[in-house]
Each structure stands twice: as structure tokens, then as C-alpha cells.
Structure 1
């Protein structure tokens, strides 16, 4: 099946598939009508070949050849997929373990020292709009009160959302007692803050 014959088969299949695709693009109803004779011709060819095999009494030989090719394809597929599956499983395992070790951490004694160090944040819904750029804020522990004042859209609510890890910073760090907030357990972070929403009920 090599050489000229293989080339002719590939060429014929390519012409057939591209012809069907183009026909469906132009008018799929007419294409379906045209395909009916093709299906009938294929059925006739299959029946004719089956009759030829039956007349030659080579059913078992043809079945043996087909089974050999079929099981060889399965063997090659298994040889290929086993290492791919193992590699995929290892990658998923490493990913899960990494996430576990990164996000498990909590502070034993949280004092409330909060620092925004050179924070840059871009809104996911507006990629061209920089909400915070090189933002610096230092909130000392022991009950210090801080008020954020500014016009609408200047980043007041965004600052709180970043502190609660609803979003991640593009650049810079947010530190809680000197520890990067991204290294802390997100559920623990949420448990440390009480938020009263500004929207009226």
C-alpha cells in the first residue's frame, strides 16, 4: 500500500472530504441529497467485497489479518498512552501538593500589621484600566483606624477586596504581619476580617 497507490488514496480522500465540506458550506440540503448515491455505492461495494471473500473462502484469513492489525494498533496505543498517562498523573499530583503546601498556612498570632507594598492592580473586566499603581499603605496594629477617601472608581473598594484576596495583585505585595498574603490560607484570611457592605439593604 505504498507508493503511487497510497498517494492516489490520500488524494481521493482529501478531494472527497473537502468537497463535502464545501458543499455543506454552500448548501447543506443539496449536499445531503448528493450524498445519498455515494452511500448506496459504498454499500454496494461492501457487499460486493464480502461476496468475493465468501467465494474465495478466505473469511478466516481476512479476519486474522484484520484482527492482527487491530490488536497491533491497540498495543501501540497502550505503549504510547501509558507513559503519557503517568506523566499527566505526576503533573496533577505535583500541582495538588503544591497548592496544598502553599495555601495551608495560617498565622498563629495575628496582630493586624497590614502593608501594601508597591501594589499594582488591573481590573479583570477592564484590562486597559489600571486601578492601583505603586500603591503604598501601612496600617499599624493596636487599633489604628484608617479611612480611604477618594472619588468613585479610585480603588477604595478594590483595596478591601485585595486585602480579602478576592483578587490577586499584578505587582507588589500585600503583607499581613510581614507575611505575603498569597502564602496564607485563603479561608483563614477571610475569617480574620469583618466586612460591612456599603450597599443599603
Structure 2
């Protein structure tokens, strides 16, 4: 760990009731995050991860309400992957964007451009774009467009990047299921190779995010 830095996982400590039914899955995801050598500035205040009732979302990170932290739906599906996804949003905004905006939107620098190019070349994104271009595809067009937004691409790719280094079978099963959906929300392993390499550079896995 570099001087003046703290583990990323320390910023996202779990604040989950001990009998919560999703605690095991959330703890496994938090352990996967903690296993990576990701660090952030020591000045970054804790964000935390908590659960709450949600009507529609599986999870949420609201940049306008950072004080509420990363929130996971009490009865949401894919809780572990959702935790990593929402941490990805927080990382995008609070660390890369320095609390001023989502860095994935501006994509300043060659590392961001390399990551985005890898996204656009992936089969997963190509499938979504092809469906969106289909004039007969109307019912889920807004959802497809949402999946292509850079902050969503970053959150999903970051979640898969962390999960791919975890031994927890349930998280891998979730990724596999989502990668095979009609509108793929994750990537098949072979499709993720270039993205994985781009994220290693972007997130600075060897030396940490500083």
C-alpha cells in the first residue's frame, strides 16, 4: 500500500444486520473486493454498504446522496454482484471522478479510451447495439440504451473484473446467467479478456488506485 492510502475495501465496510438473509452473499463479495490490491486516498471518508427495502432496484449508489452509501435491496437478486456493481459506480464517481462527476462519461486519458474501446468491441455490447438498431425492438429499447451508458458499462465491467478473481461459485453463476440473457448484462469469459486487461491498467491493480 502506498503512503497516504487505504484499501478500497475499507471504504466500503458492511453495515448489515447479522441475521440478514443476504449477508453471506454480501460478505463474499466484500471479501472478493478486499482480496485485490486496490487503494484510494486516505482522505476519502468511509462510504459503507447497507441494505434497505427497494421497490424496483437491486441496488443503488446515488452521487447526489453519497452520505447514504452503497445500498443493496433487502430482497434483490444477485446481491453479491450488485454490491460490486454499485461499488463500481462509487469508484467511478468518488475516486476517478474525484466527487465531481462520473469519469466514465468524460473518459479523459488513454486508459479510459482503451477500456471504452474494449467495451465497444465486445460481443456483449455488439448484441445490445444490434437489438437497439432493430426497428421492431421497442419494448425494452430504453433499457438497452441504459445498458450502453458509460457509467453502467463501467460498473458492470468492474463488478465482473473483481468477481472473476473470486473463488465464489455463486457470483460466477450470476455472471454466466446475465451474460446469456437476451440483452446481455455481463460478458462471457472469452469476451471479457480484452476488457479484463484494460481494467488491470485502468484500476492499477498492481500498484493500487491512488
Please report the TM-score for the alignment, with normalisation by the length of structure 1.
0.20
Larger Rg: 1
- Where is the strand percentage greater, Structure 1 or Structure 2? 1
